[in-house]
Amino acid sequence: MVGTRRRHRRPPLARGVLVRPSRPRRRGLQEASRRLSMQIPVRNLWLLQFFASDFFRTEGYGPVTAEDAPEELPNLVARMLADEVAQRLHRGLSVGFRSVARNERRVRGRINQLATERHQLLSRGQVNCTFDEIVTDIPSNRLVRAALERAAVLLPREPRYRSLARQLGTAGVRGPCPRLAEVPRLRQQRLLQRDRTMLAAAELLLNFAIPTTDEGDRRLPLPADDVHYLRKLF
């Protein structure tokens, strides 16, 4: 009896390249990995650091752009804004000038002779003057206070934002919030250069957006991307 050789089926050829048949187990693992990667909402280093750590670390400042943020992520921008506002309250808010006319016991600016004579102010040791008064109730500070109030509503368990908004009100910032269309003009003002980061964070929060790592027109803290720091996070 002559033994027959068992013929092994050769793997199929595709365009002259030897193709091994895929294993069902490996295909299942790849499919599971693909589904898992689609469920992780991580799009840039900002969100990576936000999801993975409870502390906030930056590597200087630079121009970035923004993208739409889901409702559960306002804490990132709110913390950036609160840090900037705390520094401004410590070092002094930006101020502006407002022309006022009122009775004074000493001369300030220009004397209004007609009003002074009409009300006989000289007999009471007063004069009516028109002068420029330094105020903190300027559009940029109003925008920041409105953003803090928005953060206090979105994050009611964080008392810091409401406290900072009250401190701005105590400092004299009580006017209405300017329109968001005016924010680009505010960022370009020479006297508000030191407030660019604070204004950018306030605009992002009011627009409900988060920063990305792409280059843009907003000056915000840059995320740390050194290898040792990222390994420490994960």
DSSP string, 6-62: PPPPPPPEETTEE-PPPPHHHHHHHHHHHHHHHH----SHHHHHHHH-SS--EEEEE
For 24, the token pair is: 């069902």
End-to-end C-alpha distance for the chain, whole angstroms: 67
User: Pick the residue with more confidence: 223 or 111?
Assistant: 111
For 140, the token pair is: 């940029």
CA dist., res. 47 & res. 53, Å (int): 10
Residue 108 has pLDDT above 50, yes or no: yes
Residue 21 has pLDDT above 60, yes or no: no
Instruction: Quick: pLDDT tens for 190-222.
Output: 888 888 888 888 888 887 655 555 666 666 556
User: Pick the residue with more confidence: 15 or 160?
Assistant: 160
Mean pLDDT calculated for residue range 134-140: 93
Calculate what percentage of the chain has a pLDDT beyond 70.
57
Residue 99 has pLDDT above 70, yes or no: yes
CA dist., res. 1 & res. 26, Å (int): 43
CA dist., res. 167 & res. 162, Å (int): 9
**Which residue type, as a one-letter code, is found at position 119?**
H
Residue 54 has pLDDT above 80, yes or no: no
Mean pLDDT calculated for residue range 52-73: 50
> What average pLDDT does the structure give for the chain?
74
pLDDT bucket at 39, cuts 50 / 70 / 90: very low
Q: What is the pLDDT of residue 180?
A: 81
Q: What is the pLDDT of residue 56?
A: 46
User: Pick the residue with more confidence: 106 or 56?
Assistant: 106
Q: Is 204 helix (H, G, I), strand (E, B) or coil?
A: helix
**Which residue type, as a one-letter code, is found at position 117?**
E
Instruction: Quick: pLDDT tens for 117-133.
Output: 999 999 999 999 999 99
CA dist., res. 19 & res. 178, Å (int): 65
DSSP 224: P
Q: What is the pLDDT of residue 229?
A: 60
Q: What is the pLDDT of residue 110?
A: 93
Q: Structural domain boundaries of the chain?
A: 43-91+137-233, 98-134
Q: What is the pTM of this model?
A: 0.60
